[in-house]
Amino acid sequence: MTTMTPEQAAWFAQTFDRLVGNVGLSVLGKAPVIRLALTCMLAEGHLLLEDAPGTGKTMLARSIAASVQGSHNRIQFTPDLLPSDVTGVTIYDQNTHKFDFHPGPIFASIVLADEINRASPKTQSALLEVMEEGRVTVDGVAHETGRPFMVLATQNPIEQAGTYRLPEAQLDRFLMKTSVGYPDHASTVEILSGSAVKDRSLALQPIITTKAVTDMADLATTVHTDTAVLEYVSRLSEETRNAHEVRVGVSVRGALALVRCAKVWAAAHGRNYVLPDDIKELAQPVWGHRFVLDPEAEFAGSRPDVILSRILADVAAPQERASA
């Protein structure tokens, strides 16, 4: 595979910054979260947002879709939601005497799965295949979602009544987990001054097409990753599994996820090679939700972010390369 050229890296970074700026017109004061969300999309993964209501999660999904000329659907997860309400159903057509597939709301470029932990495990399991393989199988027939495709799921960390804990297998399907958080004072004042505008994303102009998104995603895979960096990721993942507070550490899927994100992150900074610092910056959002802590350690107050910070401090990073 041909490595990304410096010129391609410069174009990638410029386009990425334009996307961040465009989304930032409606999601004010949240550039770091926007960069993570776009990195997730270009790494062809899915994002889990754990946040309080009213922090702009829906606006983020709509703004990303508007910036890439993509379609956007919102699914409100409730206890009575059925798997077919997500994936779609086949209905018998009396005129043609055939079963026709009616796609569900999961068929969109950006899908907001709102309060995903309020649906039953059976409904949540309907997402496993489509999040991993980008297709839905109904009555034995596979239906592709197309590219780009990103599930942006939310869960409320404070109202736990009537919720179901996401199983580890499903958490592992999310490339990243982060939170939007409340805007700073200046951004809040700006939002309040524009209170007459209910949806700022409607005013956004597209920056690129969905075809360009897939091209950028393919281009990001050509970013050079030195063997020393790959060995560094492997050592870090092994240490998460060896930590005494951790029952289940980072899987190979998790290690691959970090490398995929690091390639996009490097390109977004105008580089055609991955640095150890890219790994350090992305470790928390990519790996933090993949830990299963020992119950006694969790009861004693251990937290995945603290454990991961300790591992990053203990494992020596390789010397940075100057170029690919």
Query: What does the pLDDT profile of the chain (324 residues) look like in tens digits?
Result: 688 999 999 999 999 999 999 999 999 889 999 999 999 999 999 999 988 777 888 889 999 999 999 999 999 988 889 989 999 998 988 888 888 889 999 999 999 998 888 888 888 888 888 888 889 888 888 899 989 999 999 887 765 555 777 777 778 889 999 998 888 888 889 888 877 777 788 889 999 999 999 999 999 999 999 999 999 999 999 999 998 888 888 999 999 999 999 999 999 999 999 999 999 999 999 999 988 888 888 888 888 889 999 999 999 998 765 454
3-state secondary structure of 196: coil
pLDDT at 106: 94
Residue with the two structure tokens 């508007």: 66
pLDDT at 322: 45
pLDDT at 160: 59
Q: Are strands 150-155 and 110-114 parallel, antiparallel or unpaired?
A: parallel
How many Å apart are CA 305 and CA 25, to the nearest integer? 31
CB atoms within 10 A of CB 144: 12
User: Within 13 Å and on the Cβ side, how many CA atoms surround 323?
Assistant: 3
Residue with the two structure tokens 């989304």: 23
Q: Which of 17, 38, 43, 10 has the alpha carbon at shortest distance from 270?
A: 10
- At 43, which amino acid appears? A
What are residue 31's phi and psi, to 5 degrees?
A: -55, -45
How many Å apart are CA 214 and CA 145, to the nearest integer? 13
Classify residue 298 by burial, with Cβ atoms within 10 Å: 0-12, 13-18, 19+.
Answer: middle
3-state secondary structure of 218: helix
pLDDT at 158: 60
- At 169, which amino acid appears? A
Q: Which of 74, 85, 66, 170 has the alpha carbon at shortest distance from 136?
A: 85
Residue with the two structure tokens 């897939």: 214
pLDDT at 12: 97
pLDDT at 53: 78
What is the value of pTM for the model shown? 0.91
- DSSP letter for 247, please: E
How many Å apart are CA 109 and CA 212, to the nearest integer? 13
Classify residue 242 by burial, with Cβ atoms within 10 Å: 0-12, 13-18, 19+.
Answer: exposed
26, 168, 232, 293 from 312: Cα distances, Å? 35, 23, 10, 18
| End-to-end CA gap in the chain | 13
- DSSP letter for 3, please: P
